[in-house]
Structure 1
Amino acid sequence: MDVLVTGASGFIGSHLCPALEQAGHRVRAMTRHPDSYTGAGEPMAGDVSELASLRAPMDGVDAAYYLVHSLDSAEFEEKDAQAARAFGIAASEAGVRRIIYLGGLGAENQQLSAHLRSRRAVESLLGEAGVPVTVLRAAVVIGHGGISWEITRQLVDHLPAMVAPRWVSTRTQPIALDDVIRYLVAVLGAPESAGQVYEIGGPEVLRYLDMLQRVAWIKHGRRLPVLPVPLLTPRLSSAWLALVTDVNLATARTLVDSMTTEVIVRENPIQRLVPGPTIGYDDAVRQALAARAAAAGQDPVGAGGPLPRSG
């Protein structure tokens, strides 16, 4: 198939483009800076916020992946809505047969954060112009370069002890980057996935604190001391997160708001469509650390095996 990938130079897109080529598809890699693009696929100039710029990249493609969002903007909900509408209109005008979107987990009956509400709104806005949308909903994606993973890694690296706001007890279902890419490629070859929503996750449900502890053990062979501060407000928590990691304050506030929402897989029809085991959290962490070391020309880092049980 002829496939368009938005956000081709981003965390997910930069891994999806080569995987699609390896699966035999012809890939157009959409980016705002095609002259400097060095990844897989044919670079195409385009910006999801500008409808006119989408017409050339969309022309003649069978399917389009939508992998962009505006985490670092205070007006991200409005920006994401406008971009999703424009993308859906351009896809419809070009005769694209399907849009594939990576969204966020969260039960319909939950009070979702602004970030997760925006992700959910994008699902419907992409299809307003009539193009069927396949949605994959994920929580934290574990892989080198992912924002949520980088926060976890940097907290472990930078803090001798973990100040524990309430969100560290929230349950989530992390998924390895390799599994996300496997699912994104597989649904393209499954026509029955058009118009469907799939929840995807790894094999374990963990608290954010569990994730931090296991990274500390795998990377440094130590436990991370925890200092409970249950009254730490979201505003202070996000400012603290921006201080001890390289995530900017707007992104930190958006992510902290989402970290108070439990995001786990409630239904798993993706396993019927794309069978096979998923990668466990510890192995996903080791893969992410190895990829980071390789990118820096260093030896893989890792000190601990499975985290021993306390007591």
Structure 2
Amino acid sequence: MRVLVAGASGFVGSRLCPALVEAGHEVVAMTRHPDTYQGAGTAVHGDVADAETLHDALAGCAAAYYLVHSLDAEDFERKDAQAAGSFGRSAAEAGLERIVYLGGLGDDADALSAHLRSRRQVEELLGDAGVPVTALRAGIIVGHGGISWELTRQIVEHLPAMITPKWVRTRTQPIAVDDVVRYLVSVLDLPQAKGRALEIGGPDVLQYVTMMRRVAAIEGRRLLIVPVPLLTPRLSSLWLSLVTDVDTTTGRALVDSMTNEVIVRDDAIRAMVPFEPMTYDEAVRRALSERAAQEGTQDRGAATDPADDADRAR
């Protein structure tokens, strides 16, 4: 199947493209900078924020993955809604059979954060023009380079003792990025997944504070956590920007979402795609190993070819 991946160079997309190729699909990697794309598939220019670029990018495709968001923008809800609407209409005009979207967990009966409300809205807008949407809803995705995972790792590694807001007691159901990719590939041509929202998660339901303590234990670190109920979301995001490299705008959107419990309430996908997802500890160890391996590769490259440093500095 000829499949377009919007967000091909991102955290999930860069892992999904080679997995789709391995599964026998023809991958079209949509990117704003096809001349510098080095991942799997055939690079094509396209920008979800520029509707005029989508027609050519989607031409000849039978399905598409939508893996983009604008969390680093103050008006991310407006931008994401506009982009999703444009992409859905372009997909319908191109005759696509299905769109697969990676969204967020959260009970619709709750007062969802702006971030999670936006994820739901994107689900709807992608399908408004008539293309069936398969939405996989996930909580924290654990893997090297993922924003939520990086928040957890960097907090643990930078602060041996910390005051934390009350959201550290909220429950979530983290999932390894490799398992997310496995689900994404599997639902592409699964008839019973067409037009459905499916919830995915790992086997562990954990409070955020427990997640941080487990990372500390795996890394052999001491960690003292003191919850402070009056630490507001705004102060929390400013605090995160001081101790991690996640910008304040993105941090605020994520912190707001951490007040919502994000756990799987309908595990129908387990029967459709039967396998045992990684435990949280396994996912953490794999993420840390991948980070160490990447840093080792970069170090070796700098030692054997100093010219690379000059190229990266431009």
Determine the structure 2 residue equivalent to 1:235. 234
Determine the structure 1 residue equivalent to 2:8. 8
Determine the structure 1 residue equivalent to 2:148. 148
- TM-score, L = length of structure 2: 0.94
Determine the structure 1 residue equivalent to 2:246. 247
Deviation, structure 1 residue 223 = 3.6
The 5 A counterparts of 1:297-308 are: 297=296
Distance 1:222 1:247 in 2: 22
Tell me, yes or no, if the aligned pair for 2:199 and 2:265 is still in contact at 8 Å: yes
Q: Secondary structure at the match of 1:49?
A: coil
Of all paired residues, the percent bearing the same amino acid is 65
Determine the structure 1 residue equivalent to 2:218. 218
Q: Secondary structure at the match of 1:198?
A: strand
Determine the structure 2 residue equivalent to 1:53. 53
| Count of aligned pairs | 298
Gaps of 5+ in 2: 300-314
Distance 2:137 2:100 in 1: 11
Deviation, structure 1 residue 163 = 1.4
Distance 1:162 1:127 in 2: 43
The answer to which structure has the higher helix fraction is 2
Q: Give the aligned residue type for 2:234.
A: R
Q: Deviations over 1:96-144 (max 9, x none)?
A: 1100000000011010000000000000000000000000000000000
Determine the structure 2 residue equivalent to 1:80. 80
Determine the structure 1 residue equivalent to 2:304. none
Distance 1:162 1:62 in 2: 50
Determine the structure 2 residue equivalent to 1:29. 29
Gaps of 5+ in 1: 300-311
> Residue 293 in 1 paired to residue 273 in 2?
no
Q: Deviations over 1:201-251 (max 9, x none)?
A: 0001000000000000101x1341112221111111110001100000100
Tell me, yes or no, if the aligned pair for 2:160 and 2:221 is still in contact at 8 Å: no
Distance 2:258 2:196 in 1: 26
Q: Secondary structure at the match of 1:35?
A: helix
Q: Secondary structure at the match of 1:296?
A: helix
Q: Give the aligned residue type for 1:202.
A: G
> Residue 181 in 1 paired to residue 181 in 2?
yes
Deviation, structure 1 residue 35 = 0.5
Determine the structure 2 residue equivalent to 1:280. 279
Distance 1:228 1:105 in 2: 25
Deviation, structure 1 residue 252 = 0.7
Superposition misfits of 4+ residues, deviation over 3 angstroms? none
Distance 1:171 1:225 in 2: 19
Distance 1:123 1:81 in 2: 9
Distance 2:148 2:229 in 1: 21
Q: Give the aligned residue type for 2:141.
A: V
Deviation, structure 1 residue 28 = 0.3
Across the aligned residues of Structure 1 and Structure 2, the Cα RMSD in angstroms comes to 1.0
Q: Deviations over 1:276-302 (max 9, x none)?
A: 111000000000001101111189xxx
Distance 2:4 2:162 in 1: 42
> Residue 261 in 1 paired to residue 260 in 2?
yes
Distance 2:8 2:91 in 1: 17
Q: Deviations over 1:41-80 (max 9, x none)?
A: 1001000011110011100101000000000001000000
